[in-house]
C-alpha cells in the first residue's frame, strides 16, 4: 500500500501529522477519520489487513470495511489494477492525507463514485509503488500459468468482504478468512484468483452450516 503525504509533513520524527482539511471533512464520520489516521501512521509499503486494522481500531471488520468505503468515496483512498513485469494485474491501494479529486486520478483508478463536492486538493508526492495484492479474475485457459501461492498479508477485497457478510449473515466472515488463510497456507495451495477461491470457501461454509443445522438441500435457491 502506498501512502502519499504533503511534502511539508514528510519527516522522520515519530509523529503523525494530518491536515485539518481531513480532520474536519464533514463527509467522514468518526470511524473513517480514525481509520485514516491509523493508516497514515504506518510507513510506506506497509501491508494492511482488515483483521489488523480492526484490532488496532478496536472494532469489527465490517466497521473497518464501511469506513474504508467512505474513505474511497471521499477521495482519501484510491484503488486500481496494475500489471508489473508481465505478471497478473494486481490491485494497488494508495492512501492520501488530502482528498483527491476524481478527475485527478488515472482512468484505471476511477473505481466507484467520485468524491462529493469539491474537496481541497494539494500537490502530493508519491513515496513508492509497493504493496500489491492479486485480485484479477483470469480465464480457465490461462489460470494454470497464473496461479500463485498464498502471500503473507493477503486479504480479500473490502467490497467482497462486505458482500459476503450481507449474503451470509450467519457466518463470521472474519473467522472464515482466517481459517481460509491458515488452511491454504499450510496446504501450499495455488489459485489464479484468491478472491474467487474465498467466495467458494464461504459458499461451502454456509452449505456445511445448513447441513449441520439439519436444513435439507444446500440452501442456495
Reported as a single tens digit per residue, the pLDDT across 68-101 is 899 989 988 887 777 777 778 776 778 888 888 7
Whether 50 shows a pLDDT value over 90: the answer reads: no
Would you state the pLDDT for residue 216? Answer: 54
Q: Domain residue spans in the chain? A: 1-136, 137-221
Tens digits of residue pLDDT in 108-151: 444 443 333 333 344 444 433 344 344 444 444 445 667 888 88
According to the model, what pLDDT value does residue 200 have?
93
Top-confidence residue, 185 or 7 = 185
Residue found by looking up cell 498464498 in the block = 150
The pLDDT value given to residue 27: 92
Helix (H, G, I), strand (E, B) or coil at 26: coil
Residue 127 and residue 28: Cα distance in Å, rounded? 25
Percent of the chain with pLDDT over 90: 9
Q: Are 53 and 147 in contact (CB under 8 A)?
A: no
pLDDT value of position 11: 53
- Give the per-residue pLDDT at 113: 37
pLDDT at res. 7? 52
List all residues 6 or more positions away from 22 whose beta carbon is below 8 Å from its beta carbon.
28, 33, 36, 76, 97, 98, 99
Average pLDDT over residues 17-23: 86
Stated pTM of the model: 0.44
Dihedral sign (CA 44, 157, 17, 122)? positive
**Residue 202 confidence class, pLDDT cut points 50, 70, 90:** very high
Q: Which are the contacts of 97, defined by CB distance < 8 A and separation ≥ 6?
A: 4, 5, 6, 9, 17, 18, 19, 22, 36, 40, 76, 124
pLDDT of residue 4: 66
User: pLDDT tens, 60-76?
Assistant: 888 888 998 999 899 88
pLDDT at 201: 92
Give mean pLDDT, residues 34-63: 83
Cα torsion 46, 130, 49, 121: sign: positive
Q: Any idea which fold 1-136 has?
A: Arc Repressor Mutant, subunit A (1.10.10)
Task: Indicate the average pLDDT of the chain.
Answer: 74
pLDDT at 86: 76
Amino acid at each position: 500500500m502506498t501512502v502519499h503525504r504533503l511534502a511539508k509533513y514528510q519527516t522522520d520524527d515519530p509523529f503523525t501529522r494530518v491536515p485539518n482539511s481531513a480532520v474536519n471533512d464533514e463527509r467522514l464520520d468518526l470511524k473513517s477519520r480514525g481509520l485514516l489516521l491509523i493508516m497514515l501512521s504506518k510507513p510506506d509499503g506497509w501491508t494492511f489487513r482488515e483483521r489488523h486494522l480492526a484490532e488496532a481500531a478496536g472494532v469489527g471488520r465490517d466497521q473497518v470495511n464501511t469506513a474504508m468505503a467512505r474513505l474511497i468515496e471521499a477521495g482519501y483512498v484510491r484503488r486500481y489494477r496494475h500489471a508489473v513485469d508481465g505478471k497478473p494485474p494486481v490491485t494497488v491501494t494508495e492512501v492520501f492525507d488530502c482528498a483527491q479529486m476524481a478527475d485527478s486520478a488515472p482512468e484505471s483508478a476511477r473505481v466507484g463514485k467520485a468524491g462529493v463536492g469539491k474537496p481541497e486538493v494539494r500537490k502530493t508526492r508519491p513515496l513508492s509503488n509497493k504493496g500489491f495484492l492479486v485480485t484479477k479474475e483470469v480465464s480457465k485457459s490461462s489460470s494454470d500459468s497464473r496461479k500463485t501461492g498464498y502471500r503473507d498479508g493477503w486479504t480479500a477485497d473490502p467490497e467482497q468482504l462486505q458482500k459476503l457478510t450481507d449474503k451470509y449473515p450467519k457466518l463470521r466472515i472474519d473467522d472464515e478468512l482466517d481459517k481460509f488463510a491458515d488452511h491454504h497456507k499450510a496446504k501450499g495451495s495455488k489459485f489464479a484468483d484468491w478472491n474467487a477461491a474465498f467466495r467458494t470457501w464461504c459458499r461451502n461454509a454456509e452449505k456445511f452450516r445448513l447441513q449441520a443445522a439439519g436444513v435439507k438441500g444446500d440452501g442456495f435457491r
